[in-house]
Amino acid sequence: MRALITGADGQLARELISTAPPETTLQAVNRAECDITELPVVEDVFKAFRPEIVINTAAYTAVDLAEGNKALAFRINAVGAANVAKAAKLVGSRLIHISTDYVFDGGRSTPYPPDAPTNPINVYGASKLEGEKLALGVMPSAAVIRAGWLYSTTGKNFLVTILSALRRATPLSVVRDQEGCPTSAHEFAAAIWKTQGVAIQGVYHWSNLGSASWYDFAREIAVTAQRLGLLGEAPEIRAVTTSQYPRPAARPAYSVLDSTKLARALEISPSSWQQALSSDMTRAREALLPAS
């Protein structure tokens, strides 16, 4: 299978690259190699490689910065998504487009199914929702998979940031009144690769099982790091409210996703978020050890 991944520098793309099935002929392109906002560039890349499947992970993901850069966020997340769909359609590729839990407003108290009404409350979420609509409008056979609270053991994400802060013995204040589900980019990548040979189209969700606040997530990182010998005595982690930690972009108070539809289609079951975190940190223990 010939697979093309956009957004090669992102955490999900890196996991997709490292977990690609051995029979896959893979091309991963970053923004410098394939700027998705430029349709002729995207078409040239796709025509040269002729992928059978395209996984579009490229996105503007700076949630707070997007509030002051609306045009750029929409250009990448909406126009870019449409361009990828147009190029995929041109060469006859299957398309999997990655989206976000931030298309929801957080008004629910039970997990969001894929067909739940959307109502983004920040620019990032609005731009990603528009990208979903444009991609599916160009290519109705595409699959949009939303995920939220993604983390990995490398790059810039909540796990790496919290572990680094804990090692500096910095007292932490972490929000306790936003609820979602920490989701392993490693397990999400494995699920995406399992879509080979499975006829999925339309909107799906993926997350690990359970729910947590950012405060819960931070505490579990500390406990797991201590158990694995990655951290000595942990500093205080203080729970704060969203109002005590204001940020430019509003966040949904609740954004847990219901993954049942995709899990059934793929005949797999996600791990709990605690199990996934432990597995990820155990697998990457050597890389997570502090520099000597």
CATH for 16: 3.40.50.720
- When pLDDT is averaged across residues 8-28 and rounded to a whole number, the result is 96
Domain assignment present for 146: yes
Q: How many helices (H) and strands (E) does the chain have?
A: 12, 12
Q: Are 234 and 171 in contact (CB under 8 A)?
A: no
How far, in whole angstroms, is CA 82 from its chain's centroid?
Answer: 19
Domain assignment present for 96: yes
The rounded distance, in Å, linking the Cα atoms of 135 and 141 is: 10
Give which of 114, 118, 57 is closest to 263, Cα–Cα.
114
Q: 222-273: per-residue pLDDT in tens?
A: 999 999 999 988 889 999 999 998 899 999 999 999 999 999 999 999 999 9
Element (H, E) at 138: helix 123-138
Please state, in angstroms and as integers, the Cα–Cα distance from residue 239 to each residue in 151, 165, 213, 217, 256, following that order: 20, 15, 10, 11, 20
Domain assignment present for 113: yes
Q: Which domain holds residue 101?
A: 2-153+184-210+253-272
Give which of 230, 269, 184 is closest to 14, Cα–Cα.
184
What's the structural domain count of the chain? Answer: 1
Strand pairing of 212-213 and 179-180?
A: antiparallel
Please state, in angstroms and as integers, the Cα–Cα distance from residue 132 to each residue in 22, 97, 155, 273, 275, following that order: 30, 8, 26, 26, 30
The rounded distance, in Å, linking the Cα atoms of 154 and 185 is: 10
Domain assignment present for 53: yes
Active site residues: 124
pLDDT at residue 28, as a whole number: 98
pLDDT at residue 289, as a whole number: 84
Q: Collapsing DSSP states into helix, strand and coil, what is residue 207?
A: coil
Q: Are 225 and 166 in contact (CB under 8 A)?
A: yes
Q: 111-128: per-residue pLDDT in tens?
A: 999 999 999 999 999 999
Domain assignment present for 138: yes
The rounded distance, in Å, linking the Cα atoms of 273 and 264 is: 19
Q: Is pLDDT above 80 for 95? A: yes
pLDDT at residue 162, as a whole number: 95
Give the pLDDT band (50/70/90) at residue 155. Answer: confident
Domain assignment present for 225: no
pTM assigned to the model: 0.96
pLDDT at residue 292, as a whole number: 57
What's the token pair of residue 165? 């802060």
What is the chain's mean pLDDT, rounded?
96
Q: 25-67: per-residue pLDDT in tens?
A: 999 999 999 999 999 999 999 999 999 999 999 999 999 999 9
Domain assignment present for 291: no
- When pLDDT is averaged across residues 135-143 and rounded to a whole number, the result is 98
Domain assignment present for 61: yes
